[in-house]
Amino acid sequence: MSNGPWTDEENDLAVANYFAMLANEIAGRFYNKAAYNRELQALIARSHGSIEYKHQNISAVLRGLGEDWLRGYKPAFNFQLSLVDAVVRWLAGHPTWMERQQIQETASGLQESAALWIGPAPIPRPPSNPKERELMKHIAGFVDVAARDEHNCALGKAGEQRVLMHERAILSSAGRRDLADQVRWVSQEDGDGAGFDIASFTPSGQQRLIEVKTTNGWERTPFHISSNELAVAEERRSEWCLMRLWNFSRQPRTFELRPPLDTHVLLTATSFRASFH
């Protein structure tokens, strides 16, 4: 058995092994972790325990990438940074993996009666693990996770549709079917320039202007927000809110952020408009 650093080939095999299990878990299919471990042992000279810990390392990388990870493998951050390269290589070679939430949502039917689970927003928590900070910095050099989610049109549309159904379900259950029938998917009907995606109501009839941000990752995955969305949030503070959907491809959960947003998140300028004098 080898005890030295993992090679790129070993990392690639471990990542492929991991994603085979993850695909089964997301699809709800039975699989045997021990069998997958033995399968990998037959390909590389690594022990059962070493492979188990490598799978925990892969979970840590996927958390940093704002992606799903195997629930049975708690993220462990003490590993070679070359593992990040291996995960990024696998994702680059399997582009349809990033689009799977559309299939998941179609299969689940998006039933109107199912309201979303709404929890508290994350509280400020800087990474306490030096390895975690190093990992996040390394990942940022490979993948702009916020931009990736923002440009995933299928993910964004599916998230907005899920919130649309949620809002109608909440109003209907409150006896306000009249208001539920008036909830509008603004970004689809009028375009993206409104500064919000869904026009809804509270059960008392107050306007709710909802901007939806969706990720398959955990609740702390960063997201993009436009200057127009920020401007509308400031102008219509009492009506505007941001609904952050996370864990979307499995069991969508959400929390709400209300203006001013800089009390909840760190806003970092990432681009500027250039105009001539």
pLDDT digits (tens, 9 = 90+) for 106-144: 434 444 457 898 999 988 766 667 777 777 777 777 788
Question: From CA 178, how far away is CA 126, in angstroms rounded?
Answer: 45
Q: Would you kindly state where each structural domain of the chain is located, as residue ranges?
A: 1-93, 145-261
pLDDT digits (tens, 9 = 90+) for 263-276: 888 888 776 666 56
**Cβ–Cβ < 8 Å for 90, 19:** yes
pLDDT digits (tens, 9 = 90+) for 179-225: 999 999 999 999 989 999 999 999 999 999 999 999 888 888 889 99
Mean of pLDDT over the chain? 87
| Cβ count within 10 A of residue 179 | 21
Write down the pLDDT at residue 113.
53
pLDDT digits (tens, 9 = 90+) for 19-31: 999 999 988 899 9
**Cβ–Cβ < 8 Å for 75, 59:** yes
Write down the pLDDT at residue 269.
79
pLDDT digits (tens, 9 = 90+) for 225-240: 999 999 999 999 999 9
Predicted model pTM: 0.78
Name which CATH class applies to 145-261.
alpha beta
Write down the pLDDT at residue 100.
60
Using only the alpha carbons of the chain, give its radius of gyration: 21
